[in-house]
Structure 1
Amino acid sequence: MKIKELAYSAQQHLQTRTGTQFKRAHIYELLAAAFGFNSYAALSAEAVFTKHSPTSRHVPLYDGHIKLRCIEIGYPLDTAVKVASILAAQIAEQGIGIVRLDDLIAQLLYGSGLEEWPNDGKHEDWDDKEEPWVNQEEQISPLLLDCLNVAASRNHADAHYALALIHAPAYDDFDGHEVGSDYWYRQAQDGRELTGVEKEWADAYAAKLAQDEKFMHHLREAANQGHPEALLELADRFNDPTFFERHPLSVNVNPSRVAEIAERMGRHQDTRRWLTEAANSGDTEAMRQLIEEYDRGDLPRCWTWVYLAKLLGTDLTQDEYIAIHEDGTPYDDDIGGPMYASGRDGVQLSSISAQQEAKARRGALEIFAKIQNI
């Protein structure tokens, strides 16, 4: 189903049930109202329609909103009352819902393993503590893809980035298609008629090339519009430095991931900046790396990180070792055999003056207070 088909279906259903003629543009307005938006333009700026979304169960909560919007666009009260009931029931029956673009992007990143699901209170369209989109493949419906493509055609950067994530190849798969498939693909391109497994390989390779092309197109379009996560993806996959040249620390991305990418690209100044951002957000691993690699020449600053980590429940000065088997699994006395140690030493720092220590502790407390308020 595409968005035009959804609107047409709703239009025909309402006209049949109410005996009233509806403009197609008004149907879009009523569909948006069914999910609490004041206009279709407002919905399109923030969300897209999809199927199998938990939000489809919330439509009856907005029947009053549908009724009000129906009156606002020129229909009489008795018609509006019927429309509210009929449209809400149709949407629920068809399993139509919406997903906000920031939620969609967060879920796609979460599903790819690039990010942890954000615990920031901004993704609350889901029931209680139920994790959204248990079946992600089912959630990426033809309706959602059509809505994303429509939004992308209107230069919506988030829509382009969401499509890039949907079409993204695995990190070890881009330009790494199955050996032999490219040969049979080229044979087909040269006009050779293929059958059997050779044709399957050639077709699979062609499909993968098309997916890669969609991925790169949408990623580049999002990046061209300054989308920070798209720019970061270009840096991660293709060592494109544009992200670091265009975005300040205030941009809303995972600073630890940015620091890792910067380090891999040999951008040591950027690595230190983003590690510091991560540490200021409470990342104790970033604090350890700053102490061991980037802030060694500033002892008071290093001690600030040590004191901050302690406030967060981690003692960076303590050794971290566990007993393991030869294969790296935790040691089990019931299995026995040779025992090995795995882990790392705690950080070791020279002492500082009492005045410096007091200042370092104050600095740690100030950062800790900001972290608590994030």
Structure 2
Amino acid sequence: MTLKELAYVAQSRLQARTGSPIKRGHVLELFAAAAGFRSWAAFDAAALLADAGTDGEGLQGYALIVGRAIQLEYSIADAELLAASLIELVGELQLSFVQWQTLVAALHASSSRSRESFDDEDELADEDLEDDEWETESRSTTHRQSQGPALPTRSPLLLAGLERAVQLRPDDPVAHYALAAFYRGGRPSPYLYEESLKGRKLSLIEQGWVEGYLRAAPLYEKYVRHLKAAASLGDRMAALECAELLGGRALYEVVDKMEGPVSALRMAELAPDDTQRLKWLRIAAAEGAPDALAVLARRGDPTALTQMAARGDVDAIRTLATEALDSGNAMDAWQWQQLALLHGHDLTASTMRAYHDGGERDGQFYDSDFGGGLYAAGDEGLELPSISKAQAAEAAKRARDIYQSAASRR
């Protein structure tokens, strides 16, 4: 349903209920009032109408509709009939509205998605697109992890509104990016379609795949076209998605030099070299991304290790204590020991244990009654040098300060 079709349906319903002619423009004014706006012009600049399939904001302003109808010089009786009829139609068609600012937040969230975790340093490599992917389901829900508000993509009325917005505002990057997100999907493979053009006889299943391709191909083309338009108009999030979709160092470097909000974690994941990756990992960590901080800590980054230690990560604390011992800094080593104790760990205690190696008890604590192969795992514990009582007190104080500072930020 388009806005024009909705206005016609509403106009017909309202005229039938009141028995009086209703202007099409007045219908739009009443919809705007139902959304809490003073005029259709104000609503049209800030929001879009949507129907079934969108969890938008409700159109329930009965009193506002009545008031607006009276302003439009309808009688009180007709104004009340108009409001009741419009609210009834809203319920039937499951109408709502979505503000542009909500769409922008959803777009940024859908472009900030990342994989669930980084378990090793190779996890930051690019994900390959499947050339023979037949599925057309949105990559915003399958290829990536989304955070924040969900991007509504199932409302025909909202889609029509986005198409209209692009036509009215062809230089608006947000309108193009929102429309690209609506059409976002995996690239369909033309292989079987091209084979059929060459005369290959297809099975019924293959014919179904070709039909799926013919439906998906134009939608994918729209996705790419509007994504490129948004990127060329300066939307950095769209440019990042474009660089991911099309690949190539040059596109990535364009995004790197652009201004505006962007997902630092996605920039790190897509970085063409380690220098860029470290740069964006540090930015992501500064923005509070725990995965980025963990990767930096595993790489031995001193700032990341210190932050992880302050949060109680015993591995980071042990690493810092070991480094302090290696450099002959007894005070720092004792500081990290005291911080470990505050978090319930003792760096001087050995955690070495013997475990069964293979067999039905593989990985369990070694029991000599069962015998068999074994292996040792754990930490032998640190040997800390002696320090004076004053130094010990100072180390304990520094550890408490780190502990309390971290606790206040949680």
Same topology, TM > 0.5: yes
Contact 1:182/1:202 (<8 A) preserved: no
Partner of residue 265, structure 2: 256
1:254 is matched by which residue type in structure 2?
Answer: S
Q: Which one of 227, 244, 258 corresponds to residue 246 of structure 1?
A: 258
In 2, the alpha carbon distance for the partners of 1:50 and 1:228 equals: 30
Instruction: Tell me the CA shift for residue 99 of structure 1.
Output: 3.0
Change (3 A) 1:282 1:45: same
User: For residues 36-60 of structure 1, what are the alpha-carbon distances to aligned partners after superposition, in whole Å with 9 as ceiling and x for unaligned?
Assistant: 233334434443312144457x433
Between 222-231 and 307-316, the greater mean CA deviation after superposition: 307-316
Partner of residue 167, structure 1: 183
Change (3 A) 1:365 1:180: farther
1:210 is matched by which residue type in structure 2?
Answer: P
In 2, the alpha carbon distance for the partners of 1:366 and 1:209 equals: 55
Partner of residue 59, structure 1: 59
In 1, the alpha carbon distance for the partners of 2:263 and 2:72 equals: 43
Instruction: Tell me the CA shift for residue 69 of structure 1.
Output: 2.8
In 2, the alpha carbon distance for the partners of 1:339 and 1:363 equals: 36
Partner of residue 34, structure 2: 34
Q: TM-score when scaled to structure 1?
A: 0.67
Are 1:278 and 2:284 an aligned pair?
Answer: yes
Q: Give aligned-pair identity as a percent.
A: 28
Are 1:89 and 2:88 an aligned pair?
Answer: yes
Partner of residue 127, structure 1: none
User: For residues 177-234 of structure 1, what are the alpha-carbon distances to aligned partners after superposition, in whole Å with 9 as ceiling and x for unaligned?
Assistant: 5x433211x348xxx9999566544433333321221111111122122222211101
Change (3 A) 1:46 1:274: farther
Partner of residue 165, structure 2: 151
Are 1:111 and 2:141 an aligned pair?
Answer: yes
Change (3 A) 1:34 1:104: farther
User: For residues 15-38 of structure 1, what are the alpha-carbon distances to aligned partners after superposition, in whole Å with 9 as ceiling and x for unaligned?
Assistant: 121233222222122112212233
Are 1:211 and 2:219 an aligned pair?
Answer: yes
User: For residues 50-91 of structure 1, what are the alpha-carbon distances to aligned partners after superposition, in whole Å with 9 as ceiling and x for unaligned?
Assistant: 2144457x433x112222333344444443333222211211
Change (3 A) 1:73 1:102: farther
Instruction: Tell me the CA shift for residue 287 of structure 1.
Output: 2.1
Change (3 A) 1:116 1:54: closer
Contact 2:230/2:238 (<8 A) preserved: yes
Contact 1:288/1:316 (<8 A) preserved: no
Contact 1:59/1:92 (<8 A) preserved: no
In 2, the alpha carbon distance for the partners of 1:336 and 1:31 equals: 70
> What SS does structure 2 have at the residue aligned with 1:317?
helix
Partner of residue 241, structure 2: 233
In 1, the alpha carbon distance for the partners of 2:279 and 2:80 equals: 58
Structure 1 residue ranges without an equivalent (≥5): 124-131, 297-301, 320-334, 346-353
Map residues 1-374 of structure 1 onto 2, 5 A cutoff.
Answer: 1-48=1-48, 49-55=50-56, 58-60=58-60, 62-100=61-99, 101-102=103-104, 105=107, 106=109, 111-118=141-148, 123=149, 140-154=154-168, 155=170, 156-170=172-186, 174=187, 176-177=189-190, 179-184=191-196, 186-187=197-198, 199-239=207-247, 240-241=251-252, 242-247=254-259, 251-262=260-271, 265-266=272-273, 268-293=274-299, 302-317=301-316, 336=360, 338-339=362-363
Superposition CA RMSD, Å: 4.2
Structure 2 residue ranges without an equivalent (≥5): 111-137, 319-358, 365-374, 380-390
1:66 is matched by which residue type in structure 2?
Answer: I
Contact 2:265/2:292 (<8 A) preserved: yes
In 1, the alpha carbon distance for the partners of 2:240 and 2:403 equals: 30
Q: Which runs of 4+ in 1 moved over 6 A?
A: 192-195, 358-369
Between 229-238 and 94-103, the greater mean CA deviation after superposition: 94-103
In 1, the alpha carbon distance for the partners of 2:406 and 2:189 equals: 45
User: For residues 166-187 of structure 1, what are the alpha-carbon distances to aligned partners after superposition, in whole Å with 9 as ceiling and x for unaligned?
Assistant: 32233xxx3645x433211x34
Q: How many residue pairs were aligned?
A: 309
In 1, the alpha carbon distance for the partners of 2:166 and 2:71 equals: 29
In 2, the alpha carbon distance for the partners of 1:217 and 1:290 equals: 37
Partner of residue 126, structure 1: none
Q: TM-score when scaled to structure 2?
A: 0.62
